[in-house]
Amino acid sequence: MSWRDLHCGELRSEHIGKRLTVAGWTDTRRDHGGLVFIDLRDHTGKVQLVINPERAADAAGVAHDVRNEFVLQAEGEVVARAPDAVNPNLPTGEVELQVDTVRILSRSTPLPFQLDEEHVDETLRLRYRWLDLRRERMQHNFRLQHTVIAAIRRTMDELDFIDVWTPSMTRGTPEGARDFLVPVRLQPGKFFALAQSPQIFKQLCMVGGIDRYYQIATCWRDEDLRADRQFEFRQLDLELAFAEREDVLDVMEAAVVASFEALGREAPSRPFPRLAYDDVMLRFGTDKPDLRYGMEIQEATEVTRGSEFGVFSGAPCVRYFVAPKAFSRAELARLEEIAKEWGAKGLAYIVVDESGERRSPIAKFLSEDELASFPAEPGSTILFGAGEPELVARVLGGLRVHLGRELGLAATGQDVFHWVLDFPLFERDDQGNWTFLHHPFTAPMPGQEEWDEQDPSGIQGQHYDLIWNGWELGSGSIRVHDVELQRKVFRTMGLSDEEADSKFGFLLEALGMGAPPHGGFAMGIERFIALMAGEPDIRQVIAFPKVSSGSDPLTGAPTPMPEATLGDLGIRALPQDNSSSA
């Protein structure tokens, strides 16, 4: 016996006159006092079943008991709908199944929410995710995801990458987040860390002669959960031996383009623009600019050097950008609040009204020359930032993103991909110590291998980020493959040779045994899919995500463990004053 001849969404007028069996979930049931109509649904769509007691008395009896989400099998004849009953919005809308027999394969208890209900609390939806997944939006997202991942795998295969599995349980991996720890019963009191990424293993694969490695790798990072962050997520992780930066970028572009093409969408044209870090920081105030709109930041330090406006003349750096709207006082007050959130003391501006007249509390301090040096169309506002260059970049960059969104400047349906290159190799951490910007395995630019270990400022790394419409999709770099250079990077980060040996001794040993030049990349799969699907957060493309408290509403995990279990692992739990496990 087969459960079904066709999927629910596949019935068409060409099937009229055929006897067919379908199976699926009850989407709706309408009892018209005699005739019963049931919309039967599966992942392909819906079909209308008509149960007429005069034609099939038994079936009508069964249909009477049916409730939403019951699983049914129905057999009958495909007939044309009466002309006034044709539903042009439904692919199956020209036909219906005149049912002769119907079986209830599975019942459903009353539902915690209706599938088509709007504004259902997300935790409730995730608590009953098996219901939620039946929704069209979810079905669409997961099938889109499958198509994209299949296209990526095909591309990797065509480009001679091989899929190698690397361990999840390992030593800490330095990707800048906290590790999740796994206790080990066989060695009580000792812990594995769950891999934050396969970074070191993929490099060891290169030393091992794998040549081109890839993996859709699960990564674990103990960070606060956000719209684009979960404890566990996947990366398209890849590494190439004997590769230069352009080789890596080329592979990633191929994977992105193949994903668009697999979905039948217009792919971004290659090569994606390549922008330098210093340049984007100056022009957009961020290392992941949304290039769908302009509002580029302009230089005004020199022009305002001798200004009577002390905030400008005394500042190491003055910059501005022009927003395409003449803001009201109330709007400017709100923008000032935002600027302050980004660290500004205030917000200087010049409003250029529709007649071209310039209004500004600072106008009286600015000379004609100064005023004229900020070109702006009527109906716009010039917004200034003054202070240290980093602060100015942060404030104007933050305002630019805010206004880009608020003024709807990014045309929907536009997909702008670009690379950011030439990042600094090191930056200062909160304590003022030098640390890596990407991770400690990133190589310096060729020719920049010599630096003062106390002050590596100005040294650039071979690190690159891929950006889509202002979202960072992923990062990668050409790696250090020389053991002495790797030690030097560690020392610059304040890690003595002894500390480096104890933490990364195995990598240093491997680098000392014939490491080819190599580089790679990792792209966040969920973020890529969420953007592809037009979803606002990655939970919508993860089958069973966790909520922001860090819990899984479906299984109730994480849960406390019995003392005896912990004892076997050499662990004792400290008493907690809040017992929230929701």
Binding site for ligand ASP (CB under 6 A): 175, 197, 199, 235, 475-477, 520-522
**Residue 353, CB-side half-sphere exposure with 13 Å CA sphere:** 7
Query: What is the rounded distance in angstroms from the CA atom of residue 323 to the CA atom of residue 395?
Result: 14
For the CB of residue 315, give the shortest distance to ligand ASP in the complex, in Å.
35
Query: What is the rounded distance in angstroms from the CA atom of residue 459 to the CA atom of residue 238?
Result: 25
Kindly tell me which of 418 and 438 has the beta carbon lying closer to ligand ASP. 438
For the CB of residue 522, give the shortest distance to ligand ASP in the complex, in Å.
3
For the CB of residue 175, give the shortest distance to ligand ASP in the complex, in Å.
5
- Residue-by-residue DSSP string for 494-520: T--HHHHHHHHHHHHHHHTTTPPPEEE
CB under 8 A, 24+ apart: contacts of 245-251 = 245/421, 245/462, 245/464, 245/478, 245/519, 247/519, 248/464, 248/476, 248/478, 248/519, 248/520, 248/521, 249/274, 249/419, 249/464, 251/159, 251/161, 251/521
At CA 123, angle to CA 120 and CA 124, rounded to 5? 55
For the CB of residue 208, give the shortest distance to ligand ASP in the complex, in Å.
17
For the CB of residue 285, give the shortest distance to ligand ASP in the complex, in Å.
23
Kindly tell me which of 175 and 223 has the beta carbon lying closer to ligand ASP. 175
For the CB of residue 235, give the shortest distance to ligand ASP in the complex, in Å.
6
- Residue-by-residue DSSP string for 381-408: EEEEEEESHHHHHHHHHHHHHHHHHHTT
For the CB of residue 442, give the shortest distance to ligand ASP in the complex, in Å.
7
Kindly tell me which of 350 and 466 has the beta carbon lying closer to ligand ASP. 466
Kindly tell me which of 22 and 480 has the beta carbon lying closer to ligand ASP. 480
Kindly tell me which of 197 and 286 has the beta carbon lying closer to ligand ASP. 197
- The pairing of strands 380-387 and 349-352 is antiparallel
C-beta atoms surrounding 48 within 10 Å: 22
Contacts of 338 (CB under 8 A, 6+ apart): 398, 399, 402
Kindly tell me which of 166 and 235 has the beta carbon lying closer to ligand ASP. 235
| Of 127, 132, 80, 76, nearest in space to 102 by CA | 76
For the CB of residue 543, give the shortest distance to ligand ASP in the complex, in Å.
22
Kindly tell me which of 285 and 476 has the beta carbon lying closer to ligand ASP. 476
Query: What is the rounded distance in angstroms from the CA atom of residue 501 to the CA atom of residue 505?
Result: 4
For the CB of residue 462, give the shortest distance to ligand ASP in the complex, in Å.
11
**Residue 345 DSSP one-character state:** S
For the CB of residue 367, give the shortest distance to ligand ASP in the complex, in Å.
49
Kindly tell me which of 174 and 470 has the beta carbon lying closer to ligand ASP. 174
Kindly tell me which of 49 and 443 has the beta carbon lying closer to ligand ASP. 443
Q: Cβ distance 511 to 483 under 8 Å?
A: yes
Kindly tell me which of 36 and 243 has the beta carbon lying closer to ligand ASP. 243
Kindly tell me which of 141 and 235 has the beta carbon lying closer to ligand ASP. 235
Q: Cβ distance 317 to 392 under 8 Å?
A: yes
C-beta atoms surrounding 73 within 10 Å: 18
For the CB of residue 479, give the shortest distance to ligand ASP in the complex, in Å.
8
For the CB of residue 303, give the shortest distance to ligand ASP in the complex, in Å.
40
Kindly tell me which of 173 and 380 has the beta carbon lying closer to ligand ASP. 173
Token representation of residue 411:
């045309």
| Of 222, 242, 238, 240, nearest in space to 230 by CA | 222
**What length does the chain have?**
582
For the CB of residue 196, give the shortest distance to ligand ASP in the complex, in Å.
7
Query: What is the rounded distance in angstroms from the CA atom of residue 29 to the CA atom of residue 46?
Result: 12
Q: 72 has which bridge partners?
A: 24, 104
Kindly tell me which of 463 and 488 has the beta carbon lying closer to ligand ASP. 463
For the CB of residue 174, give the shortest distance to ligand ASP in the complex, in Å.
9
Query: What is the rounded distance in angstroms from the CA atom of residue 570 to the CA atom of residue 74?
Result: 57
- Residue-by-residue DSSP string for 210-278: --EEEEEEEEE-B---BTTB-SEEEEEEEEEET--HHHHHHHHHHHHHHHHHHTTPPPPPSSPPEEEHH
Put residue 547 in one of left, alpha, beta given phi > 0 → left and psi -120 to 50 → alpha.
beta
Query: What is the rounded distance in angstroms from the CA atom of residue 265 to the CA atom of residue 151?
Result: 13
For the CB of residue 307, give the shortest distance to ligand ASP in the complex, in Å.
43
Contacts of 375 (CB under 8 A, 6+ apart): 322
**Residue 55, CB-side half-sphere exposure with 13 Å CA sphere:** 14
Kindly tell me which of 28 and 218 has the beta carbon lying closer to ligand ASP. 218
Kindly tell me which of 376 and 466 has the beta carbon lying closer to ligand ASP. 466
Query: What is the rounded distance in angstroms from the CA atom of residue 38 to the CA atom of residue 355?
Result: 63
**Residue 452 DSSP one-character state:** B
